[in-house]
Structure 1
């Protein structure tokens, strides 16, 4: 594998590793004592968050907008069709990634709100 491919693969690997405690797997910080039902409540809230997909119809739309925007920008700046395919692919990845990150953040909010609704003092 060339150094260039490794350079571009590293952020993807780092992002995947950073997602271990995010989205539906999020474990909130609770202030105060937790009762005997904590693990069960957490599992139920995480399951509720998992029911909301990370990739949805908005992700496809964001990918299309990203692809069109990147291709148009490349065409304007470069005034050449040689790199339009690569620019469109990169734009699609960026658009889809941004949408997936937003959906992951929404899953965390679902876990927090669910745990609060079950009486836990969630502070983070």
Structure 2
């Protein structure tokens, strides 16, 4: 895989991770005794806090780490640099997906914790 393919894989992953955020995320809560208007305000504020976690930057970090780990492992295992570019591309794509996914999960967890801190019973 050449540099253009690696960059294309990263661009696709970053674009997808950019679509995934908590701006529309609605966790399941126990609504018994909950003031709907107050909940909507609290949810909006909690989402804003969670959006400080950036899936795109986590995807880039994951891509770099993935590329280095996979390319290094393949080079050591095969004792050759022949597949170095391809393996770096695969590692970059996988690392970016994992990094972006972890950041989205962290955003959701932050929303849950914020809502719990405000007294809501978050079920999922």
The residue that corresponds to 2:74 in the other structure is: 74
Specify the SS of the correspondent of 1:92.
helix
Runs of 4+ with deviation above 6 angstroms: none
Q: CA deviation at 1:102?
A: 1.5
The residue that corresponds to 1:38 in the other structure is: 39
2:104 and 2:114 map into 1 onto residues whose CA distance is 15
Q: CA deviation at 1:32?
A: 3.0
1:64 and 1:113 map into 2 onto residues whose CA distance is 30
Distance 1:43 1:93, change over 3 A: same
Counterparts of 1:1-124 in structure 2, within 5 Å, are 16=16, 23=22, 25-33=24-32, 34-35=34-35, 36-56=37-57, 59-124=59-124
2:29 and 2:61 map into 1 onto residues whose CA distance is 36
- Structure 2: any 5+ residue segments left out of the alignment? 1-8
2:109 and 2:81 map into 1 onto residues whose CA distance is 43
Q: CA deviation at 1:62?
A: 3.2
Specify the SS of the correspondent of 2:56.
coil
Q: CA deviation at 1:112?
A: 0.5
Q: CA deviation at 1:60?
A: 4.2
2:68 and 2:114 map into 1 onto residues whose CA distance is 38
1:83 and 1:39 map into 2 onto residues whose CA distance is 52
Specify the SS of the correspondent of 2:91.
helix
CA RMSD of aligned residues (A): 2.8
Contact 1:24 1:49 (C-alpha < 8 Å) held by counterparts = no
